[in-house]
Structure 1
Amino acid sequence: MNLPPPRIALIGECMIELQQHADGSLHQSFGGDTLNTAVYLSRELGGRASVDYVTALGDDSFSDSMCRIWREEGIGLDLVQRLPGRLPGLYCIQTDAKGERRFLYWRNEAAVRDCFTAPSAAPVLAALPDYDVLYFSGITLAVLGECGREKLVEVLELARQGDTRVVFDNNYRPRLWAGVEQARAAYRSVLPYVDMALLTLEDEQALFDYADAQAVFSAHENIGTPEVVIKRGAGSCLVHCEGEAFEVPACKVETVVDTTAAGDSFSAAYLASRLGGGDPQQAALAGHRLASRVIQVRGALIPRT
């Protein structure tokens, strides 16, 4: 019997991206953590799954261009709201000689702030529990705001009553929160629903003061998270899955150009591999391979070629 392809919904924000070159000139594109993951996930799965993006945009030309690009990448737009008179957020990437990044943001009035609270959100919220996979990040939690987060928790409660798998990337950005306690409360409200946690070690330590990776694993064992992946940049990643532990070395890269979306692309390839039947070690290798290609090109989204 041929089963229908899995349906995946990724929730978050896409922004107008400006890349500042050494001569001060700017290159304009688009990016955002869950959007980056959605694009790379769609590419990795190659039509073997339905990948939809969940966000709110304006009715401007930048929002039009975003939707066109997503459609070309095979991403479904049924859950993208277009709010009249609103605009997307904007950020600028400044990259040093070692490929490390500094971000400048303009996002306080972005349309995504009302993604789950606008009147047009009702059918979106109703549709989400029927997906096979729901994916969101710590940045998603921040930009949704308190009311939006409450709506998200309601969705997760309904989703977990069925067979939906919930995937969470921690992506903690302190500047998006009023304080660390607000962020901790928001994370703790969703973590009990998470089936797969894709974590950056530095973010976990900054948010929860964990001493090391083992402390992170112990905390998630207490929560009951079945699968936990700790990303450690150029170092090996660590995986705990259903009582087994794995350490998978990263791919060596001679020249790092831009580390933007390294973690997002890793998460996409890891999830794609797991959805395709790969074990955690195979999935981690797939994540490292894709991330190693992404960091050799400027910008969040490398050319498909």
Structure 2
Amino acid sequence: MPHNDRTEQMPQTRFDVLAIGNAIVDVISPCDDAFVAAHGLDKGAMALIDAAEAEALYSAMGPGREISGGSAANTLAGLAGLGARCAFIGKVADDQLGDVFAHDIRAAGIHYAVDPLIGAVPTARCLVHVTPDGQRTMNTFLGASQDLDAGSVDKQLIKDAAIVYLEGYLWDPEAARTAMQEAIVTAREAGRKVAFTLSDVFLLQRFGQDFKAMIEDGAISILFANEGEALTLTGAADLDAAIAQLAPMLPCLVVTRGARGAVAVTGGERFEVPAEPVEKVVDTTGAGDSFAAGFLAGQIAGRPPRDCLTMGAIAAAEIISHYGARPEADLEALMARRFG
């Protein structure tokens, strides 16, 4: 994909993007609305569950597919598919699912060198229930991913990356939260960009003040949010009011609106693009993750904001057209069709 019409030259680094996040294997299974209701699940949302709940729910699920996931790791998979140089920091256990995750991320060409957890805590898994309308209801057992601590974060990797991308989902465990806070400090001291995704409304209900403080402190270079997250974070009555509140504090704000496209505000200017058309929405798992991949790929290439948004929309459309949160089509070819 040609890199013409650049607006900003990224620094020369070993990696374009280093991501820190939960290392999770998704177990994806189709179901009907009755299954969601019978098990008291909040359709379209993500909930944290313990080991016993995970075992009971897994037993009740129909046949599923095991696919490596995790929000930030999914974003890296999309970025790698677009030719970006990527590295990942996240914790798995020394077990079968841990081996699956490590194999998959390395097979995508992503640098991954975190030692697995040895002990009784298994690798994290997300049980994804997909209804006929393509909505995904996620129940996540975080397992070994919560054991990520500052000792697992290689500061040199952070310094070696142009963008450090952090997922809000990992903010819950105290040790992981501390590790991410230290990573932000290291990135800022090295003059690197910090990208942060808010991940889910339930996190904002618990840690919204933390996220606001980071934004107000100027720690975040690029903030990703969906419409619901932007409204919850700000308490605004509508999206325009939420954007008006957040945008002046951020070099770049990106808000996704599902079928209504996406908005970015950077340099005091607002840009909007529609969603890309898809023949059928099969599974929305990872749509936001993939959008972030496309947008960041545009940033790396120095493309203007509207192009970055369009690249995000194309990547998200590819993901929702099939099961699983990792791309199956040639993303570079999809981008080339649009941009030549």
Aligned to 1:12: 21
Of 286, 296, 312, 1:287 maps to 312
Q: Which amino acid aligns with 1:17?
A: D
Alignment match of 1:259 (pick from 284, 307, 331): 284
Number of the residue aligned with 1:112: 145
Report if the CA contact (8 A) 1:20-1:26 is conserved: yes
Greater length-normalized contact order (CA 8 Å, ≥ 6 residues apart): 2
Cα distance in structure 1, aligned partners of 2:126 and 2:13 = 38
> Counterpart of 2:117 in structure 1: which amino acid?
L
Match of 1:183 among 207, 212, 215: 207
Determine whether 1:81 maps to 2:115. Answer: yes
Deviation at 1:101, TM superposition (A): 1.4
> Could you say what the CA RMSD is over the residues aligned between the two structures, in angstroms?
2.2
Q: Deviations over 1:189-231 (max 9, x none)?
A: 4333111111111122234422222222222245x21111110
1:268 corresponds to which of 276, 293, 298: 293
1:58 paired residue number: 93
Displacement of 1:147 in angstroms is 3.6
Give the deviation of 1:263 after TM superposition.
0.9
Q: Which moved more, 1:164-173 or 1:3-12?
A: 3-12
Matched, 1:102 2:137: yes
Normalising by structure 2, what TM-score?
0.78
CA contact (8 A) 2:68 2:100 kept: no
Q: Give runs of ≥4 in structure 1 deviating > 3 Å.
A: 2-7
AA matched with 2:286: A
Moved more, 260-269 or 18-27: 18-27
Following the alignment from structure 1 to structure 2, what is the Cα–Cα distance between the partners of residues 87 and 225? 38
Gaps (5+ residues) in structure 1? none
Is 1:202 the counterpart of 2:228? The answer is yes
Q: 2:76 aligns with which of 38, 44, 48?
A: 38
Q: 1:68 aligns with which of 81, 97, 103?
A: 103
Residue by residue over 1:125-171, the C-alpha shift from the partner in whole angstroms, topping out at 9 and shown as x without a partner, is: 464244321001211222xx234323322331232123200111111
Deviations 1:30-58 (A, max 9, x none): 211111101001111x2xx4200011111
Mapping for residues 163-182 of structure 1, pairs under 5 Å: 163-174=191-202, 180=205, 182=206
1:234 and 2:259 correspond:
yes
Aligned to 1:92: 127
What percentage of residue pairs aligned between the two structures are identical?
Answer: 25
* Partner SS for 2:258: coil
Residue in structure 2 matched with residue 24 of structure 1 by the alignment: 62
Preserved contact between residue 253 and residue 292 of structure 1 (Cα < 8 Å): yes
TM-score under structure 1 normalisation?
0.87
In 1, Cα distance between equivalents of 2:87 and 2:243? 30
Cα separation, partners in 2 of 1:158 and 1:220, compared to 1, 3 Å: same
